[in-house]
C-alpha cells in the first residue's frame, strides 16, 4: 500500500491498536489492552487506612490494591474522618498499574467529551489556555455557565473554539447522561465492580487525535467505517477527511509497516538521520536519554557538528516520548557545547518540539554538565509495558549472575603441599613454637637434653664414689670439678653454643623446656661448687691447708666409715637445694680460701 506524507490515522479494531502517522512516520500509538485502563470508573471498597502516609488502599477487583492519597479524597478534614474501613466509594483510575505497583485512583471524577470535560465533584468553569482570544474565552465561559447544572464543574477544551451553542449543549448532555448512569449503577451494585469504561478505541482515537490536519482515516472493518463516518458527520468534520476501508489479505498493521515501528520503539538505540544516535533507557525511577554524534562528521567545524546533532536529537526525542508514552522524570544528556548562543538555540528548539504534546511536558534548564531535566505527565502504560515481558531468567536486570564458588577449608595434606611449593623461610617457623613443622627441631633438642642429663647423672655417681674414699671432701670436689670441665668440653659443645646464641627464646618456652634448663644448670652448679663438711664438736678450720713436705710424704688415705658418710650426704643434699637457686656458681670461692690459708700459715 502506497504511503503519502499526509497525516493519517490507522485504526486496527481487530487488534485494538491505532497509530497516528505524521509525514510518513508513526508519532503516537493508542492501545486498548489490560484489565485496568486509564479513565475507568470503579465502585471500590476501602481496605486499609494509613494515616502515617496519609493514604488508603482500596479494592478495585484486581490482584493489586488501588492507592488513594488524601489529596484525592473528596471533602474536608482528616483522612480518618472522611474514610472508614469497608466503606463503598466511587473512584477513577488516573494511573495504570506499573510493575509491582497497583493503580492510582482518585475520587475527583472527570468524564471527557468532544468539547467539554465534566467534573461532577467540583464547581466552577475553566477554559483551555490554548484559546488565546479574550473575546472567545468570555463567550465560551458565559455559554457554559448558562447550560451547566448547579454544583457541577466544567472544563472547556481547545476544540470548543468557534463551535456553536447547539454543539456544546449536545456534548454536555451526553456527559451528564454518562454520570447519571454511573450513579445509578453504584447504588445497585456491590463492590468491587466496574461502573464505566471510556468509549471504545475508535471513538477515543477520533476524539483525541483527529484534527484539521488529518486527511485520511484507515480502518479494517466495515462496521468501524460506518461508525467513523457517523461520528465525523455529527462533529461536522466529514468534509476534509477521507475514510478508507482496508481489504488486503495481510493484517492492516503489517501492510502499513506499523509493526516495524513497534519493534523499533522497543529498542534502546535510535538512529538519527545524519549518523548520530540516541540511547534511551527507562527505569522505575526515571528515563535517561544519551545523545551521541556517531558517524556525523560532515560539518566544517566541531561546534557546527555538535549543534546539528543536538537539534536532530531534540526532534527525535520529542517524537520518542510520545511514541513510547514515557512519563515521569526524564534526564537528557546532550553533547557539551561551549557557545552560549548554540545552547539557547537548542533549548528554544526543544520547547517548540514538545509544545504539541498533550501530556504537558515541563522542560527545565540546561545544567553546566550539559544535562536537561524534564517531566512528562504519565498517561496510561508505556509501550514497553504493553508489548514486552520481564525476562524470566534475569528478572529484567539485563544480566544473569553466575554461581559464586567460595574456597572450602583446605585439608592438612593440601596445606602441606602448598607450603612446599611456596617454600616458606625457616626463620618464620621459629616464631610459632607449636607449629607442626617444628617437630624435628623439638626432637633434636630433646635428644641433646637427654645426653646432658645422662652425662650429669654419671658425674654425680663419680662424685659419690670419690667422697667415700677421700678424707677431705673439698679436695674431692676440686677433682670432680676438673673432670666435669673436661667432659663438658668433649661431650656437649653444641648445647653451650645454643644456650649462648638464644637465651631469650628459651626463656619464653613452656613448662617442659624450663624443666630441662633447670636440669642443665643443676649439673653445672653441682660440679662447679665445692662444698665443705662441718662435723659436730670440730673446730672451724680452713677448707684447704698448705701442707709441708713432711706431711705430704706421710699422707695416707683415710677410710671414712659408713656412719660418718651418711650425714655428709644429707648435708650435701641440703646445700644442693640452696645452690640450685643460683644459676652461676661463685667461681672466686677457691681463690679466697687460698688467700686465707696463706695468712694463717704466716701467723
Domain CATH for 155: 3.30.230.10
SS3 string, 173-226, reads HHHHHHHHHHHHHHHHCCCCEEEECCCCHHHHHHHHHCCCCEEEEEECCHHHHH
Task: Return the closest-CA partner of residue 387 out of 285, 264, 284, 266.
Answer: 266
Helix (H/G/I), strand (E/B), else coil: 90? strand
Burial zone of 388 (CB within 10 Å; 0-12 exposed, 13-18 middle, 19+ buried): exposed
Do 383 and 272 reside in the same domain of the chain? Answer: yes
User: How remote is the C-alpha of 418 from its chain's centroid?
Assistant: 36
Q: Cα–Cα distance between 294 and 271 in angstroms, integer?
A: 9
The answer to whether position 418 is within a domain reads: no
Higher local confidence (pLDDT), 317 or 76:
317
pLDDT for residue 386 is more than 60: yes
Do 444 and 553 reside in the same domain of the chain? Answer: yes
The answer to whether position 131 is within a domain reads: yes
User: How remote is the C-alpha of 149 from its chain's centroid?
Assistant: 57
Burial zone of 475 (CB within 10 Å; 0-12 exposed, 13-18 middle, 19+ buried): middle
Q: Cα–Cα distance between 590 and 568 in angstroms, integer?
A: 20
The answer to whether position 184 is within a domain reads: yes
Helix (H/G/I), strand (E/B), else coil: 363? strand
* Residue at which a domain ends, from 353, 387, 421: 387
Query: How many residues comprise the chain?
Result: 603
Of the pLDDT bands very low, low, confident and very high (cuts 50, 70, 90), residue 433 is low
The answer to whether position 40 is within a domain reads: no
For 557-573, give one letter per residue: b (16+ CB within 10 A) or e: eeeeeeeeeeebeeebe
Do 239 and 271 reside in the same domain of the chain? Answer: no
Q: Cα–Cα distance between 426 and 403 in angstroms, integer?
A: 40
Of the pLDDT bands very low, low, confident and very high (cuts 50, 70, 90), residue 352 is very high
Query: Can you give the pLDDT at residue 142?
Result: 92
pLDDT for residue 506 is more than 60: no
Residues 6+ apart with CB under 8 A from 50: 56, 57
Please, are residues 308 and 299 in contact by the beta-carbon 8 Å criterion? yes
Do 522 and 466 reside in the same domain of the chain? Answer: yes
Task: Return the closest-CA partner of residue 256 out of 246, 241, 268, 266.
Answer: 246
Query: Can you give the pLDDT at residue 561?
Result: 41
* Residue at which a domain ends, from 329, 357, 387: 387
The answer to whether position 284 is within a domain reads: yes
3-state helix, strand, coil in the chain (%, to 5): 45, 20, 40
Q: Cα–Cα distance between 453 and 11 in angstroms, integer?
A: 111
Do 247 and 349 reside in the same domain of the chain? Answer: no
Q: Cα–Cα distance between 364 and 376 in angstroms, integer?
A: 12
Task: Return the closest-CA partner of residue 73 out of 65, 87, 117, 359.
Answer: 87
Task: Return the closest-CA partner of residue 335 out of 358, 354, 308.
Answer: 308
Lowest mean pLDDT, pick from 237-241, 242-246, 256-260: 237-241
For residue 487, the tally of other CB atoms under 10 A from its CB is 16
Task: Return the closest-CA partner of residue 593 out of 530, 535, 527, 528.
Answer: 530
* Sheet with strand 286-292: strands edge to edge: 269-271, 277-282, 286-292, 328-333, 371-376, 362-366
pLDDT for residue 152 is more than 50: yes
Confidence (pTM):
0.60
Do 129 and 235 reside in the same domain of the chain? Answer: no
The answer to whether position 155 is within a domain reads: yes
Do 373 and 475 reside in the same domain of the chain? Answer: no
Range of the domain at 126: 109-195
- Nearest-5° Cα angle at 563, 558 to 565: 60
Query: Can you give the pLDDT at residue 203?
Result: 85
Long-range pairs for 552-555: beta carbons < 8 A, 24 or more residues apart? none
Question: Total structural domains in the chain?
Answer: 4
Do 541 and 472 reside in the same domain of the chain? Answer: yes
Do 588 and 444 reside in the same domain of the chain? Answer: yes
pLDDT digits (tens, 9 = 90+) for 283-329: 888 899 999 887 766 767 888 888 899 999 999 999 999 999 898 89
Of the pLDDT bands very low, low, confident and very high (cuts 50, 70, 90), residue 179 is very high
The answer to whether position 453 is within a domain reads: yes
Q: Cα–Cα distance between 309 and 297 in angstroms, integer?
A: 10
Burial zone of 91 (CB within 10 Å; 0-12 exposed, 13-18 middle, 19+ buried): buried
Residue located via cell numbers 659436730: 536
Do 286 and 367 reside in the same domain of the chain? Answer: yes
Query: Can you give the pLDDT at residue 493?
Result: 45
Q: What is the mean pLDDT of residues 406-423?
A: 68
Of the pLDDT bands very low, low, confident and very high (cuts 50, 70, 90), residue 546 is very low
Average pLDDT, the chain: 75
pLDDT for residue 415 is more than 70: no
Lowest mean pLDDT, pick from 7-11, 48-52, 56-60, 367-371: 367-371
pLDDT digits (tens, 9 = 90+) for 446-467: 655 565 455 555 555 555 554 4
Q: What is the mean pLDDT of residues 510-537?
A: 46
Q: Cα–Cα distance between 551 and 539 in angstroms, integer?
A: 20
C-alpha grid cell, residue 603: 701467723
pLDDT for residue 29 is more than 80: yes
Do 489 and 595 reside in the same domain of the chain? Answer: yes
Return the percentage of the chain with pLDDT > 90, whole number.
Answer: 21
Alpha helices by DSSP H, listed for 30-164, are: 79-82, 134-147
Residues 6+ apart with CB under 8 A from 335: 291, 292, 293, 306, 309, 310, 370
Q: Are strands 88-95 and 116-119 parallel, antiparallel or unpaired?
A: unpaired
Helix axes 439-469, 473-491, angle to 10 degrees: 150
Do 441 and 536 reside in the same domain of the chain? Answer: yes
The answer to whether position 43 is within a domain reads: no
Of the pLDDT bands very low, low, confident and very high (cuts 50, 70, 90), residue 124 is confident
* Residue at which a domain ends, from 241, 258, 275: 258
Amino acid at each position: 500500500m502506497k504511503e503519502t506524507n499526509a497525516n493519517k490515522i490507522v485504526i486496527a479494531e481487530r487488534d485494538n491498536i491505532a497509530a497516528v502517522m505524521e509525514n510518513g512516520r508513526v508519532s503516537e500509538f493508542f492501545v486498548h489492552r489490560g484489565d485496568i485502563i486509564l479513565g475507568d470508573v470503579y465502585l471500590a471498597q476501602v481496605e486499609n487506612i494509613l494515616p502515617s502516609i496519609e493514604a488508603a488502599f482500596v479494592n478495585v477487583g484486581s490482584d493489586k490494591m488501588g492507592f488513594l492519597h488524601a489529596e484525592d479524597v473528596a471533602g474536608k478534614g482528616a483522612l480518618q474522618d472522611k474514610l472508614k474501613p469497608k466503606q463503598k466509594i466511587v473512584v477513577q483510575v488516573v494511573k495504570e498499574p506499573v510493575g509491582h505497583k497497583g493503580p492510582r485512583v482518585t475520587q475527583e471524577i472527570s468524564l471527557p467529551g468532544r468539547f467539554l470535560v465534566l467534573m461532577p465533584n467540583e464547581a466552577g468553569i475553566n477554559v483551555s489556555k490554548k484559546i488565546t482570544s479574550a473575546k472567545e474565552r468570555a463567550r465560551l465561559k458565559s455559554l457554559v455557565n448558562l447550560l451547566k447544572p448547579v454544583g457541577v464543574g466544567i472544563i472547556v477544551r481547545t476544540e470548543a473554539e468557534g463551535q456553536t451553542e447547539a454543539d456544546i449543549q449536545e456534548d454536555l448532555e451526553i456527559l451528564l447522561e454518562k454520570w447519571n448512569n454511573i450513579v445509578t449503577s453504584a447504588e445497585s451494585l456491590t463492590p468491587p465492580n466496574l461502573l464505566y469504561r471510556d468509549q471504545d478505541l475508535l471513538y477515543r482515537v477520533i476524539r483525541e487525535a483527529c484534527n484539521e490536519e488529518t486527511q485520511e482515516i484507515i480502518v479494517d472493518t466495515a462496521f468501524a467505517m460506518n461508525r467513523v463516518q457517523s461520528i465525523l458527520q455529527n462533529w461536522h468534520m466529514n468534509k476534509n477527511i477521507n475514510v478508507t476501508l482496508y481489504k488486503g489479505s495481510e493484517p492492516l498493521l503489517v501492510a502499513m509497516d506499523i509493526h516495524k515501528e513497534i519493534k523499533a520503539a522497543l529498542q534502546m538505540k535510535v538512529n538519527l538521520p545524519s549518523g548520530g544516535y540516541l540511547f534511551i533507557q527507562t527505569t522505575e525511577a526515571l528515563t535517561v536519554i544519551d545523545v551521541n554524534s556517531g558517524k556525523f562528521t560532515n560539518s566544517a567545524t566541531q561546534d557546527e557538528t555538535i549543534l546539528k546533532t543536538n537539534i536532530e536529537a531534540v526532534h527525535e526525542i520529542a517524537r520518542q516520548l510520545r511514541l513510547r508514552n514515557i512519563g515521569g522524570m526524564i534526564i537528557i544528556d546532550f553533547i557539551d557545547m561551549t557557545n552560549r548562543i548554540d545552547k539557547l538555540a537548542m533549548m528554544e528548539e526543544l520547547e517548540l518540539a514538545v509544545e504539541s504534546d498533550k501530556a504537558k511536558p515541563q522542560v527545565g534548564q540546561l545544567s553546566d554538565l550539559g544535562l536537561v531535566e524534564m517531566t512528562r505527565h504519565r498517561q496510561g502504560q508505556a509501550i514497553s509495558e504493553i508489548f514486552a515481558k520481564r525476562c524470566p531468567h534475569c528478572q529484567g536486570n539485563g544480566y544473569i549472575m553466575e554461581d559464586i564458588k567460595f574456597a572450602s577449608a583446605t585439608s592438612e595434606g593440601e596445606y602441606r603441599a602448598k607450603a612446599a611449593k611456596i617454600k616458606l623461610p625457616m626463620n618464620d617457623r621459629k616464631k610459632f613454637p607449636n607449629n607442626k613443622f617444628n617437630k624435628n627441631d623439638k626432637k633434636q633438642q630433646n635428644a641433646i637434653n637427654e645426653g646432658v642429663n645422662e652425662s650429669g647423672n654419671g658425674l654425680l655417681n663419680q662424685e659419690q664414689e670419690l667422697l667415700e674414699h677421700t678424707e677431705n671432701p673439698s679436695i674431692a670436689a676440686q677433682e670432680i670439678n676438673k673432670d666435669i670441665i673436661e667432659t663438658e668440653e668433649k661431650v656437649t659443645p653444641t648445647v653451650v653454643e645454643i644456650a649462648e646464641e638464644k637465651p631469650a627464646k628459651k626463656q619464653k618456652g613452656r613448662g617442659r623446656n624450663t624443666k630441662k634448663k633447670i636440669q642443665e644448670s643443676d649439673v653445672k652448679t653441682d660440679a662447679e661448687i665445692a662444698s665443705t663438711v662441718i662435723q659436730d664438736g670440730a673446730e672451724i678450720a680452713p677448707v684447704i691447708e698448705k701442707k709441708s713436705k713432711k706431711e705430704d710424704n706421710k699422707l695416707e688415705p683415710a677410710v671414712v666409715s659408713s656412719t660418718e658418710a651418711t650425714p655428709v650426704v644429707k648435708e650435701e643434699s641440703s646445700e644442693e637445694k640452696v645452690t640450685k637457686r643460683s644459676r652461676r656458681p661463685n667461681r672466686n670461692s677457691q681463690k679466697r680460701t687460698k688467700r686465707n690459708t696463706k695468712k694463717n700459715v704466716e701467723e
